[in-house]
Chains A and B, each alone.
Chain A
């Protein structure tokens, strides 16, 4: 079925473990973060190329683009992060930091580590600035609660999660009642539309992909940014040359070889996140760019042309991406973990 091109496309990114390979799993890494300069910070291989490519691919089709970052980091380290984004050539429309000091002053100790209430309200707040018909792509990681936050956000926007259910979910997750009320108020004034097309989760922790199945087909667990780029290509939002650029950066700057790239593409295809035809087109394109072995070249030359012709009109064949997350399966287990995390922060 054909898909009309949106007027605006917004890409929302998490920072730590999604854009940046921040090391906060070790005490040493944690201690180092406040003292890091922009040049100390390491972006995940290929991520900057993906962001730049997404903008250019959309603008070529006359689509207005917004790139927003929402981070759980405090604004005190914001300078280094903003400089890093500039160094990487990332044009963005703002970074939201978490005001940890303000929370401390207000005695909101539980909110220091809790992310659901904070991020969800920030996302909903920012959504008010989007015109009707804006489509969104969300990027997070498996380190904290991004899959859950993004899914709730998407389902609130689509109307699949109503006010009563949102209240129950946030209560189950022990979200600060003030933030829960705020989330309810913000969502009440939003237009209901299926705006979130895809949620990408960078598997920085190597979470088994099957564990993310309850979030539904809209969520794509991805092991690296070649996989993410391939899926975005399949969705018709990233042009093939940018996927090749991602592969090239991974090879030239991060020591990847063609076998690791081929394995990555085959994995995402086997997991049915990348269509067979999309994989074939990409394989041919990457072979022509001398990034992959030529074994797969010519496999579907005619399909390549057909597909490209389609893309110009439709913006890609698209895979099924709708479907509400299964909160019944997700929350009983998650609520304990989040409550424990909040308790740790209190202690």
Chain B
């Protein structure tokens, strides 16, 4: 039997507001058997907890002061203020084995640097990667509406071996999270031809094609990204980061346009009202950032990063996701895919 996962939750991440993370964790404590360590300002966490329904048997609190790292603070600050910085204390709990993994909605670059400096790489992994989820079109009712793209900024320039390993890590992760036995893997490129994109991408294509453990579907072009042709899209950090931010921008524009249309005249407003529940059901697709956590793959634990604007429900989902990944991977082979790459 797999041990119950213990998730360290950086509760100061949501721009210093402890409520979303504490309420999210409290909800999880009533629905699951997951153990959580809430890291942050203990008095504020306790005060918030006592105002919500929770199960104390699954929640512990570790004090980390009341001066959270800002979202735009330099990551070095997290390393310098180790004992008084929630994101740093949470990472240390994982490194010390007191927690299985962590969830944070704080400073992304700081979380990455802390993982690099405090957590060991999984067996056989050369480089860790930062993943991100993106919305995509799916035909099947029960298919996951979110795809995984990696790397989105950890390794700016990659070689073919890195890309192969990212594909293996991403494939193993999606297989466990989405219950897709053989996730489709695509290589983000400028054309569908094998030779497109230069030397590194051509070599990466060849290696991906030859890896029998992967369900490689070929190159994925920009316009195909959201059409659902692949469950996992791999690319170097620079390109992934640009794509991710462009998707965020487009999502924000879509939300703005809808709001502006509704304000413009009463007919459109009436139309929007009639579409109300339909629009609401698709909201997670447009505001997907706030509904899904993104994994950092390649370390001995898989931290989940959430957007700082995440509501309680999103943080609760992220905690469940972290626990699910830990359970699945600790019962199977966490770095199995990566191990093959190193051989």
Q: Which residues of A contact B (CB under 8 A)?
A: 206-211, 223-224, 227, 256-257, 259-264, 266-268, 270-271
Contacts and interface: CB of A to CB of B under 8 A. Distances in A.
A264 B57 contact: yes
Given A259-B35, A270-B46, A271-B50, A206 B30 contact: yes
A209 B35 CA distance: 20
A206 B6 CA distance: 22
A209 B50 contact: yes
Nearest to A221: B50
B40 to A, nearest CB: 14
A264 B56 contact: yes
A257 B54 CA distance: 18
Nearest to B61: A270
Interface in B145-169: none
A208 B50 contact: yes
Contacts of A264: 56-57
Interface size on B, as a range, is 10 to 19
Given A210-B51, A270-B46, A271-B50, 19 more contacts: A206-B54, A208-B51, A208-B52, A210-B50, A223-B55, A256-B57, A259-B6, A259-B35, A260-B57, A260-B58, A261-B57, A263-B57, A264-B56, A266-B56, A266-B60, A268-B56, A270-B42, A270-B61, A271-B46
Contacts of B4: 257, 259
Interface string B56-78: 11111100000000000000000
Contacts of A267: 56, 59
Contacts of A262: 60
Interface of B: 4, 6, 30, 35, 42, 46-47, 50-61
Contact of B56 (A207, A211, A223): A223
B51 A263 contact: no
Given A206-B30, A259-B35, A223 B50 contact: no
A47 to B, nearest CB: 16
Nearest to A222: B56
Contact of A263 (B30, B42, B47, B60): B60
B57 A224 contact: yes
Contacts of A256: 57
Q: Which of A262, A264, A267, A268 has the most CB of B within 10 A?
A: A267
B160 to A, nearest CB: 45
Contacts of B60: 262-263, 266
B41 to A, nearest CB: 13
A105 B100 CA distance: 61
A313 B265 CA distance: 80
Contacts of A271: 46, 50
